[in-house]
Structure 1
Amino acid sequence: MTQQALRLGTRRSKLAMAQSGQVADAVRRMTGRPVELVEITTYGDVSREALAQIGGTGVFVTALRDALVRGEVDFAVHSLKDLPTTQPEELALAAVPEREDPRDVIVARDALKLTDLPRGARIGTGSPRRMAQLNAYARSHGLDFETVAIRGNVDTRIRYVRDGELDAVVLAAAGLNRIGRSEEVTDFLSVDTVLPAPGQGALAIECTADNADLVAALGELDDPFTRVAVTAERSLLAALEAGCSAPVGALADLLADGQIVKEMRLRGVVGTTDGSRMVQLSTTGPVPETHDQALALGRELATEMLAQGAAGLMGERAQ
């Protein structure tokens, strides 16, 4: 007797379909059940406004979550960085699989690296976080380039470079890896130059909290190290009271001695989008063993950043 297919809710973009397809394959192998993709259009997919203008937080996930609650799909796959920091009680974050490369990358004309771009070069990005850090880097290293706000999928953004409208665009390494286009990267941005968005490179797999069997089955895909890392990053973001479109970067590194993970280092940054003022701090401690310990790590670093004036920088952006 054929088992009923599990319905996986996904956005329709090429990247979303690719990463959802990878999760679907893993769930098929793990459960032996067929999985079908259910394409859902979100507000963030149809709006042409800049993400900073429409709020950023939740615009790519609300429609998927609504479909879960209505029972139209059994589980959904999101880019974790798109999730609001507050988890709805009716939904379970069943799995956070092992993280992809969290770094940002440059795709530039003539295979140029960031530091090789000519004076007056135009770099496209839809992220205030990337703008803030790139502009700060330019100020501190005597570089002369302009950051330009853009929207669109990976194809659209790279086309700006191919058509000569921009000299370079900034994208997430994980996204290009997942759609098989990593060979187009011309420069990987060190996290010492640009800290990624909280949760960047990680996926979130959600289902309804009352479906205990599915929560348990999907939980087999969970990577505990990735989960505590992104929990700390998102706790920092939540404590700074910033949405996904705010210029906040965070990354939790697992520091290893050989094959043994010893400590976790959490770094955070907040800045004005012109790069003129930045607050960047870090803390290192034992790897959190519980969800609450990971939350506490993020809150502690956020408290230090707020004491250094982080809230004022975010306030300046909003004026």
Structure 2
Amino acid sequence: MTAAQFFGLTAMFRRFLFSLSFEEDEHLRPWILDDPEPFNRLLLLGEVEFSEITSDEKIRLQADRSVFVRRELFQTQLDAGITPERDELISLALDSNRSLRERGQFYLKSIYGEDCYSIYRAKKGEDFYFIADYARPEDAENFLAGIRSGSRPTQQACMRALASAAPDRLKELDMASLITQNRRFRSVLVPLLPQLLSIDEILALRSAFEKSSPFGTASFLRVLEKKSFWTFVDEGLSLLISGPETALRQSIVRPIKSRVAIYESLPSNLRDSISKKIMRLRDQGQKQDQGVANLLEFTMKTA
């Protein structure tokens, strides 16, 4: 059978044949690292003692496209009681996957007493931005640079680091652009917006939220509610008047009905705006909105 014919078989059947091969003369071993299924490639580590893995096989496993395979190779080496060489750990500490880098960082420190932070600081290009793993406030400028000009993984790592080490510096970025670009950017940025921005600055991001995803408007309202309940009510009423779909309607009504206490004063301009919108909501005669209108009117009397 040719390699092409063999890899035309199903993954599980190939795994079965590899297992039979290891029980006999290992005649399929030369093909195992070419298998497209990571769990089949891992079979080599399970069937062969680490000391019996050839140097060529080890090089290929270290460069495997699967993070899981690379991690298992390293763990198998440790389990075999073989101390990794310094160069191996430096290579691991420069892996694109953070969990593998952290293993490299830990063992390089514990075995050889070397701090990877200084190693990263001496690097050029994308490797330099692995300093984001340490999230030190003094690197805020570097994190900003990484977000503005780095690769997508570098941008994401630097954003997490900046959010942790110096969140106020996030205001120096183009918030609207970041919100529309990427879900992972939003997952870091959005929870911080109520603390970072003013009400007007959050309102200015509404269009960016709406463009970001089908659920962008609901996400915008959650941010606004955490910043100012009454501004959220004012914006939410405008949407209720327009007759939103059920999911968006619930994202407006639920916070209003579940709010137990309000410690925010109600400015006169918002009181007037909300009152007018409640009247418009009543005039539309939608039964499902009357309870919301009644509750808001009662709440406003004590605000």
TM, length-normalised to structure 1 = 0.21
The structure that is helix-richer by fraction is 2
TM, length-normalised to structure 2 = 0.22
Q: Please tell me whether Structure 1 or Structure 2 has the larger radius of gyration of its CA atoms.
A: 2
User: Which fold has the larger relative contact order, with Cα–Cα distance below 8 Å and residues 6 or more apart in sequence?
Assistant: 1
